[in-house]
C-alpha cells in the first residue's frame, strides 16, 4: 500500500518539487500551503498520478493547523511521512535595524509552525509506533552569517528540535531526520527581499545554485531507505558554496 506523505509549503520551491517527484513515485499526498490557486493546480495535475488531498492553512494559526489536519478524510488521515518544509527568511538586516514583524514571522513560521504541525501528527505516529519526520533546516541552522541573525536562530532551533524529536520519539521507532540545504533557487530570496526580484536574482549571480529538484531527490532517497536506516542529518550545498558566505561566483 502506498505511504501517505504530508508536505508543508508544497506550493513552491522545495515542497512543490518534492510533491511532483513523490507523485511520480506513487505516494499518497497531503499538500499544504496558503495559496489556494496553487494547491488547486497541483491537485489537478498530480491527481493524474496519485491520490492527492490539499489543505489550506497558515502554519502560524494553531487552531487552523489542528482543525485542518484533524479533519483529514479517513483515507488520508494516517500520515506515514511528514515533511516539515514550510518556512522562509524575512529580511536580511543587522540586529539593530531588524524589523520586529520579520522576526515574528520567522520564529512563528519556521519554529512554532513546525511544532504545531508536528504536534498535530505525532500522536498518531506514536500510537502506530511508526512514522518518519523530515525537518527542512538550513546551513543557516549550522552556522551564523552577518545579518542572518533571526533566520539563523530559527534554523538553529529547527536543528535542535530535530535532535530533540529523535530522542523523544526513539522509544516508538519513529525516524527523525534533518535536511539542511545551502543556496537553492526558489522563491526564497523573493520572499526574503519582499518582492525585489533584482535583489533576489543577484543572490544566485555567477554560480549554479541547487535546484529544488535536487533537494526533492535527496528527500526521496532518505524516505526510501530500509527501516533500520535513519539518515539523521544531512547538509547539501551547491559545489560553488563552501559556507554561507564563501561562494565561488566564477563556477
Ligand atoms: P519558497 O519560498 O519557494 O517556498 C516556501 C513555502 O513555504 C511555500 O510553499 C509557502 O507556501 C510556504 N509557507 C511560507 N509561509 C507559510 C505559512 N505562514 N504557512 C504555511 N505555509 C507557508 O522557499 P523554499 O522552497 O526555498 O523553502 C522551503 C524550506 O527550505 C524553508 O523552510 C526554507 O527555510 C528552507 N531552505 C531554503 C533554502 C533556499 O536557499 N531556498 C536553503 C535552506 C533551507 P504559501 O505561501 O502558499 O503558504
Ligand atoms: C537558506 C540558505 O544561506 O540564505 O536557508 O540562509 S541561506
pLDDT tens, position by position, 187-233? 999 999 999 999 999 999 999 999 999 999 999 999 999 999 999 99
Q: Give residue 124's pLDDT.
A: 98
d(CA 15, CA 138) in angstroms, rounded, equals 14
Whether residue 243 is predicted with pLDDT greater than 80 in this model: the reply is: yes
Confidence of residue 75 (pLDDT cuts 50, 70, 90): very high
Which candidate in 145, 151, 172, 204 is catalytic? 151
The answer to whether 150 and 103 are in contact (CB under 8 A) is: yes
- Out of 89, 144, 200, mutate this one to test ligand 2's pocket (max ligand atoms within 8 Å of CB): namely 89
The answer to whether 44 and 31 are in contact (CB under 8 A) is: no
Coil, helix or strand at residue 120? helix
* CA 39–ligand 2 middle distance (angstroms): 25
Whether residue 251 is predicted with pLDDT greater than 80 in this model: the reply is: no
Check if 148 has its Cβ closer than 6 Å to any atom of ligand 1: no
Beta bridge partners of 201: none
Q: Give residue 235's pLDDT.
A: 98
Check if 11 has its Cβ closer than 6 Å to any atom of ligand 1: yes
- Please name each of the domains of the chain with its CATH number: 4-236 (3.40.50.720)
Across 51-70, average pLDDT: 98
Across 61-82, average pLDDT: 98
Confidence of residue 161 (pLDDT cuts 50, 70, 90): very high
Q: Give residue 16's pLDDT.
A: 98
- Out of 6, 7, 9, mutate this one to test ligand 1's pocket (max ligand atoms within 8 Å of CB): namely 9
Mean pLDDT of the chain: 98
Per-residue model confidence as pLDDT tens digits over 165-188:
999 999 999 999 999 999 999 999
ipTM over 0.95: yes
Dihedral-angle region of residue 157 (phi above 0 means left; psi in -120 to 50 means alpha; beta otherwise):
alpha
Whether residue 1 is predicted with pLDDT greater than 90 in this model: the reply is: no
Atom of ligand 1 nearest to the CA of 86: 7
Q: Furthest-apart CA pair in the chain: how many Å?
A: 53
d(CA 13, CA 65) in angstroms, rounded, equals 21
d(CA 25, CA 39) in angstroms, rounded, equals 19
Amino acid at each position: 500500500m502506498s505511504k501517505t506523505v504530508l508536505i508543508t509549503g508544497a506550493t513552491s520551491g522545495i515542497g512543490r518539487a518534492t510533491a511532483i517527484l513523490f507523485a511520480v513515485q506513487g505516494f499518497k499526498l497531503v499538500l499544504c500551503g496558503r495559496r489556494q490557486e496553487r494547491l488547486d493546480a497541483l491537485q489537478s495535475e498530480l491527481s493524474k498520478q496519485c491520490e492527492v488531498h490539499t489543505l489550506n492553512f497558515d502554519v502560524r494559526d494553531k487552531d487552523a493547523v489542528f482543525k485542518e489536519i484533524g479533519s483529514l478524510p479517513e483515507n488520508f488521515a494516517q500520515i506515514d511521512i511528514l515533511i516539515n518544509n514550510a518556512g522562509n527568511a524575512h529580511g536580511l538586516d543587522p540586529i539593530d535595524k531588524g524589523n520586529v514583524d520579520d522576526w515574528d514571522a520567522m520564529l512563528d513560521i519556521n519554529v512554532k509552525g513546525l511544532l504545531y504541525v508536528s504536534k498535530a501528527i505525532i500522536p498518531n505516529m506514536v500510537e502506530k509506533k511508526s512514522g518518519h519526520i523530515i525537518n527542512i533546516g538550513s546551513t543557516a541552522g549550522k552556522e551564523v552569517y552577518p545579518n542572518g541573525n533571526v533566520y539563523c536562530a530559527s534554523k538553529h532551533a529547527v536543528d535542535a528540535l530535530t535532535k530533540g524529536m529523535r530522542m523523544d520519539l526513539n522509544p516508538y521507532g519513529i525516524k527523525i531526520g534533518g535536511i539542511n540545504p545551502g543556496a537553492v533557487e526558489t522563491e526564497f530570496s523573493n520572499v526574503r527581499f519582499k518582492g525585489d526580484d533584482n535583489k533576489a536574482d543577484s543572490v544566485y549571480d555567477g554560480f549554479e545554485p541547487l535546484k529544488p529538484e535536487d533537494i526533492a531527490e535527496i528527500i526521496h532517497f532518505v524516505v526510501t531507505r530500509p527501516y533500520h536506516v535513519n539518515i539523521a542529518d544531512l547538509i547539501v550545498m551547491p559545489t560553488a558554496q563552501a559556507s554561507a558566505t564563501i561562494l565561488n561566483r566564477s563556477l
